Structure 1
Amino acid sequence: MKNYAKVLMLSTVFSVGLNAQTQDQMTKSIMDETYNNSQLEKLAYELLDGIGPRLVGSPKMQQSHDWAVSKFKSWGIDARNEQWGEWKSWERGTSSIEMVFPYVKSLEGMQLAFSPATPSKGLTADVVMLPTFSSKEDFTKWLSSVKGKLVMVSQYQPSGRPEYNWKEFATPESFEKMQNESKAASEAWQNSIKVTGETSRTLNAKLEAAGAAGIISSNWSRGFGVNKIFSAGTKKIPVMDVSLEDYGQLYRMLKNGTTPKLKITANSKDKGMAPTFNTVAEIKGSEKPDEYIILSAHLDSWDGGTGATDNGTGTITMMEVARILKKLYPNPKRTIIVGLWGSEEQGLNGSRGYVSAHKEQMPKIQAVFNQDNGTGRIANISGQGFLNSYDYLGRWLAAVPRELTKDIKTTFPGTPGGGGSDHASFVAAGVPAFMLGSLNWSYGNYTWHTNRDTYDKIVFDDVKSNVALIAIMTYMASEDPEKASAEKIKLPVNQRTGERMAWPEVKEPTRKGGLD
């Protein structure tokens, strides 16, 4: 009996040593493939420069789904497009904004997404500025004056310099004066909009109903040369976003008694309704095929730029992880799924659609790793309110070389994410799903939903580190003999309401969108 116990102990020690050796070799192989045979730049070129922006429902969105399926299959990975709904299909065309009075000048700007087109020969009209209002009655009375006009609807920005530039060069007194004036002007503008009974989302439709010929906005992103590009919010009249610099010039002309006249030409196409999809790729598990690890990123984008950091980087990261694992780890113990979601930008619709369509998978998911906030290397991971997340995430992270993890801040157990990105769709369903938060790289100002979110903003060294980290964690999650615990924390009492906070609820996607 003693001999048997001794043999068993030696066998266990040998097995542990062998597993550690195998783990170390896999880590080295992943690092080597990531850094010496990277496909990231090619993937980024094909997706961002070759296809371009990926607005939900658009032909470009469909093209990107088909490209992703083809790319996965070229690596020997099964992939498909799964429909979850349909959306208004809109295709951007050429557009131009010309000032034709008091002199001729081409303005910098573009149509907002889903904006109606102009007549083929363009639209020429005088410009008026949305004034500040003291009451809803003032607004209602003023509406009668907008018929046939191009209405400027954004707050005037007297300085196009971002705050960090002021802070670096201005005197302390000048910097403080700028901040105070900016805050006062913003509050006055917001109060004026509030008294109209409208919001920034409903105002354009109100102006359209009053007979405006078109709308001019300037959604400055508080950085040099960047504007946010969102939806038009109209059904018949065009909406154009203009640079801060040109918008400011139009405003100052009006303030000084000159009424500028603009000619707008916009050749977008309304293509009716189109089906909307998720691209789902799968490397089948060999021992536990009905347990899953999901690599999550949204494929769609807004279309001011080409969606490079939101979320081209997340997309190519998860695709590259899948390529590497298929090459080095073709028979994982658990099934590895890559989910490239559609319509995250309109409310996590693609990932919610997947959760709804695959309810049977949810209790069997080992982990979801989601990447969706820019080009930076992963810097923070929250346990999302799963009580034992520190245990298994800690084990998986321990296998990653220290050079990739030394600056990562972990927060355990954390609190459940209710929105923001696609991990939240899975968290709501009780699935251990984790947002892999990236370093900022001026994401909020310069690339998030802006006209400057393009290939050149990608920092490939950082993206490669994310690929290696996620590939190693996925390998570890697959090999882990234990199923990761989905036990939730007991949420704290909300200090404002005095009631205990509730876990986020599972929500269905918007199945038919873009019609409002």
Structure 2
Amino acid sequence: MQKQLLFSILFIVGFFLNSNAQTVEEMVAAIEKEGTENSQLEELAYQLMDLNGPRLVGTPEMKSAHDWAVNTYKSWGIDAQNQQWGTWKGWQRGITHVDIVHPRVASLHATQLAWSPSAGKKGVTAELIALPTIQDSLAFAQWLPNVKGKIVMVSMMQPTGRPDDNWEEFATEASFKKMKEEREAMEKAWDENMKNTGYSSRTINKVLEEAGAVAIAQSRWSRGFGANKIFSAGTDKIPVVDISLEDYGMLYRMVEHGAKPQIKIMAESKELGEVPTFNTIATIPGTELPDEYVILSAHFDSWDGATGATDNGTGTITMMEAARILKKLYPNPKRTILIGHWGSEEQGLNGSRAFVEDNPKIVEGLQALFNQDNGTGRVVRISGQGFLHAYDYLGRWLEAVPDAYKNEIETTFPGTPGGGGSDYASFVAAGAPAFSLSSLSWAYWNYTWHTNLDTYDKIVFDDVRNNAILTAILTYMACEDPEKTSREKAVLGIDPRTGEQREWPSQRSPTRKGGMD
């Protein structure tokens, strides 16, 4: 029985390799040529990032980008549609302008946070105060009336605006060590003080709002020159602005010295009520196995401190370019190719979780999903995501990829199933073979991940071209493979943090009505 099974497997593999050897070689060469000589990546990036801009869920800019994607696919002869999966709090960013008006006048580097309430036509001008040293929640409650009519600073003042690698390059070893120790002590004291208030950095804004603060100022440094994280406001009526480390530190020192600085916040925004939110799904129908699917996956939404270029504009244009190449060179795939541009990944993989929940037949027929998310770098890691036999088919498909596109890729088989992080995890949780094409860093975490610096100029197009060609080849191979991929799960190892055996991630439902409470 075992010999017969082995013969059958060898026959299938041999048939696939031998009968298609020339065809595979020609197709791979054609994909490489099209992706290199006729790349549309720069134009796609311009239209998505520069013209459409950031893609915060619930904003008109997000809907505009969805419509642009549909129209772009249709111009390539690919059917596409926006599929609604829920609703979200509608909001539109306007102009932000923050100035110090006392004890001197200067414009500051600042922006309002996502879903921040408007500062009104006249803006807000008030004195800044910082959180004091608090012994316990009772002491905080006694101090709280002091915020009435004030703008409250809720972030720690950083002792240095130089990233650690800059210190490491130029400082003495003793100086670098001293700075880190002082900063760690400040962070520990700040965290303890916040804990003593009875609130956290996520909950304190509403408390200050309810106590009569007229605005909130923060600075969430990303540990890179000029880089701050930009997330959500967390208030209902008063504006929240993020101020650059440099300007925030200046203001904080003025408060500490009793200079009573005042700033003026102009933060225009519009609340648009409850609006629909979508996934954009494009389809190249399969000819022989139309109910089996290969999905090209990338989340479409972003935070809006910048234009979401590397999170996840680069993943988006990678999948669009791969789809364009395949439609031109491989218009009649054996299996159906879907391109999924997911909404609201940033708030908890909501778009992809909704798709998995709403499309069980597609999930059941999934041959493979390739997801790209973490920045502009070339792909350097692929994990089998805990599927026992992932090496058999991923290894087979990677064989066809020229060395130039795979020689840096480290593979881990069978690997461990991803429980979150990006949209492939929504499919893995449902037991479907989905894989992350993980990228080289390019200082992603410090400089572009959710920051005010995530813009077109940070894209490394040679690396993105690499990824589009790689994805197109893997998709072609997955479509042509005569075998259906195995879903058998590996026995997971012990979690070193808990000492217990790992469990397969459980499927979770999306938030289908977001930001309205």
TM-score, scaled to structure 2: 0.96
SS of structure 2 residue aligned to 1:187: helix
Q: Give the Å deviation of 1:300.
A: 0.4
SS of structure 2 residue aligned to 1:145: helix
Match runs of 1:29-178 below 5 Å: 29-178=30-179
Q: Which residue of 2 aligns with 1:9?
A: none
Q: Give the Å deviation of 1:132.
A: 2.8
Change (3 A) 1:483 1:461: same
SS of structure 2 residue aligned to 1:267: strand
Deviations 1:296-320 (A, max 9, x none): 0001000000000000000000000
Distance 2:272 2:18 in 1: 61
Q: Give the Å deviation of 1:482.
A: 0.2
Distance 1:30 1:198 in 2: 55
Q: Give the Å deviation of 1:16.
A: 5.0
1:240 equivalent to 2:241? Answer yes
Q: Structure 1 stretches (4+) deviating beyond 2 angstroms?
A: 12-18, 492-501
Q: Give the Å deviation of 1:495.
A: 5.0
Q: Give the Å deviation of 1:134.
A: 2.3
SS of structure 2 residue aligned to 1:93: strand
Q: Give the Å deviation of 1:18.
A: 4.3
1:411 equivalent to 2:412? Answer yes
Identical pairs, percent: 63
Distance 1:404 1:393 in 2: 15
Q: Give the Å deviation of 1:410.
A: 0.5
Deviations 1:105-161 (A, max 9, x none): 111100000000012011111100112322112211111110110000001112110
Distance 2:177 2:28 in 1: 52
Match runs of 1:314-325 below 5 Å: 314-325=315-326
1:264 equivalent to 2:265? Answer yes
Q: Which residue of 2 aligns with 1:194?
A: 195
Q: Which residue of 1 aligns with 2:445?
A: 444
SS of structure 1 residue aligned to 2:251: helix
Q: Which residue of 2 aligns with 1:8?
A: none
| Structure 1 unmatched ranges of 5 or more | 1-11
SS of structure 2 residue aligned to 1:232: coil
Q: Give the Å deviation of 1:60.
A: 0.4
1:357 equivalent to 2:366? Answer no
SS of structure 2 residue aligned to 1:113: coil
1:502 equivalent to 2:515? Answer no
Contact 2:136 2:198 in 1 (8 A): no
Distance 1:252 1:163 in 2: 22
Deviations 1:75-132 (A, max 9, x none): 0111111100000011000111111110111111000000000120111111001123
Deviations 1:137-196 (A, max 9, x none): 221111111011000000111211001000000001101000101111111111111122
Distance 1:61 1:361 in 2: 26
Change (3 A) 1:174 1:496: closer
Q: Give the Å deviation of 1:14.
A: 9.3
Q: Give the Å deviation of 1:500.
A: 3.0
Change (3 A) 1:380 1:15: closer
| Structure 2 unmatched ranges of 5 or more | 1-12
Contact 2:119 2:265 in 1 (8 A): yes
1:24 equivalent to 2:6? Answer no
Alignment coverage as a number of residue pairs: 506
Deviations 1:25-78 (A, max 9, x none): 000000000000000000000000011000001000000100000000110111
SS of structure 1 residue aligned to 2:125: strand
Contact 2:389 2:414 in 1 (8 A): yes
Change (3 A) 1:377 1:249: same
SS of structure 2 residue aligned to 1:94: strand
Q: Give the Å deviation of 1:15.
A: 8.2
SS of structure 2 residue aligned to 1:38: coil
1:275 equivalent to 2:252? Answer no
Q: Could you tell me which amino acid in structure 2 is paired with residue 104 of structure 1?
A: V
Q: Could you tell me which amino acid in structure 2 is paired with residue 306 of structure 1?
A: T
Deviations 1:400-433 (A, max 9, x none): 0011111111011111100010000000000010
Deviations 1:463-501 (A, max 9, x none): 000011110000000000000101111122445555432
Change (3 A) 1:16 1:176: closer
Q: Could you tell me which amino acid in structure 2 is paired with residue 150 of structure 1?
A: I
Deviations 1:242-291 (A, max 9, x none): 00010000011111110001111111000111100000000000100000
TM-score, scaled to structure 1: 0.96
Distance 1:22 1:134 in 2: 73
